[in-house]
Amino acid sequence: MTTGFVRASLRLLGVQAAWNYERMTGLGMGYAAEPLLEDLKSADPARHAEAQIRSAEYFNSHPYLAGLALGALVRAEYDLVPGPQIARLRTALTSPLGALGDQLFWAGLVPAVMAAGIVAVVYGAGIWALLAAVLGYNVCRVATGVWALRTGLAHGAKVGSAIGSSWLPAAAQRIGLLAGLLVGIALPLASVWLLQAEHAWELPVAAGTITVGLVAAWTLGPRTNAVRFGLTAIGLAALLAWGLP
């Protein structure tokens, strides 16, 4: 199982490689499950074939936490949990793991690390600070992946309660607060660093754009986003600059 654990952990790094709308990360899960199911092949070939089919069915969650589900589902196969129950477990884990992972990583650790990177760049730390940020982030990411797979394998069908009593929910809460703080610090510093105005009119132009952007986000809601607003505002400014005498 040790070799299988390492291979599965590595395969989980690419769990979204064959992402599609039919099974989402299901194929990636099936690919990662294969080395973990090896021992079942000799012990119970019929069960192994069924497990192999089930392992690549529809699944979606946060990619970093997919190991929790993978481990739990594989353990359930070894525990000879009935197939329909395993399918229900698979479905039940989708939303909580997705929400928890999004909160912890996409809305927490990623903005926190990037905001710290912005502050480091503003203060001249440059490339070394960014390298440290990427390295530190990936240590967290890999450690979480290994922990997730190990926890899933240890708890099987009872993984839900193991997740609830783990460090994940509290960490997601705390990292969110840290992200808020660091993004807050980064924003004014980044603005001043970028806008080294040579002319008096540049500051009001930038401030006006910020105001329009915030008002647009407030009034239009999801009908606008960063890219749409950026393309529109900068495109109009480029046209204006082109037409200026």
Partner 1 sequence: MMLGPAAAIGGLVAWGTVVGIDLVSFPQGLLSRPLIVGAGAGLLLGNLEDGLRVGLLLELFALDVLPVGAARYPDYGAGTVGAVLFSTAGPWPQTLGLATLFALGFAVLGGVSLQWLRELNGRALQRQMAGLAAGDAATVARLQYRGLLGDLFRSAMLAGIAVAAAQFLREWLPLGERQLIVTAVAIGAGVAAAATGALRGAGRGARLRWLAVGVGIGLTAAVLR
Enumerate residues 129-158 that contact partner 1 by CB under 8 A: 130, 133-134, 137-138, 141
Q: Which of 8, 9, 31, 66 binds partner 1 (CB under 8 A)?
A: 31
CB of 158 to partner 1, least distance (A): 26
Q: Which of 9, 36, 63, 151 binds partner 1 (CB under 8 A)?
A: 63
206 touching partner 1, by CB under 8 A: yes
Which amino acid would we find at residue 182?
A: L
83 touching partner 1, by CB under 8 A: no
Stretch that binds partner 1, among 75-83, 123-131, 147-155, 159-167 (CB under 8 A): 123-131
CB 29 within 8 A of CB 72: no
SS3 59: strand
C-alpha span between 216 and 114 (Å, rounded)? 25
Instruction: Give how far the C-alpha of residue 110 lies from the chain's centroid of Cα atoms, to the nearest Å.
Output: 8
Stretch that binds partner 1, among 28-36, 76-84, 152-160, 162-170 (CB under 8 A): 28-36
- Per CB under 8 A, which of residues 90..119 are in contact with partner 1? 98, 102, 106-107, 110-111, 113-115, 117-118
| Count of beta carbons in the 10 Å neighbourhood of residue 223 | 9
| Count of beta carbons in the 10 Å neighbourhood of residue 28 | 24
Q: Which of 9, 28, 73, 168 binds partner 1 (CB under 8 A)?
A: 28
235 touching partner 1, by CB under 8 A: yes
67 touching partner 1, by CB under 8 A: no
Q: Which of 5, 23, 146, 169 binds partner 1 (CB under 8 A)?
A: 23
C-alpha span between 145 and 103 (Å, rounded)? 16
Cα separations (Å) of 142 from 6, 41, 65, 217? 12, 28, 10, 36
Alpha-helical regions (H) of 102-225: 110-122, 126-155, 159-164, 168-194, 202-220
CB of 75 to partner 1, least distance (A): 19
Stretch that binds partner 1, among 69-77, 82-90, 152-160, 237-245 (CB under 8 A): 237-245
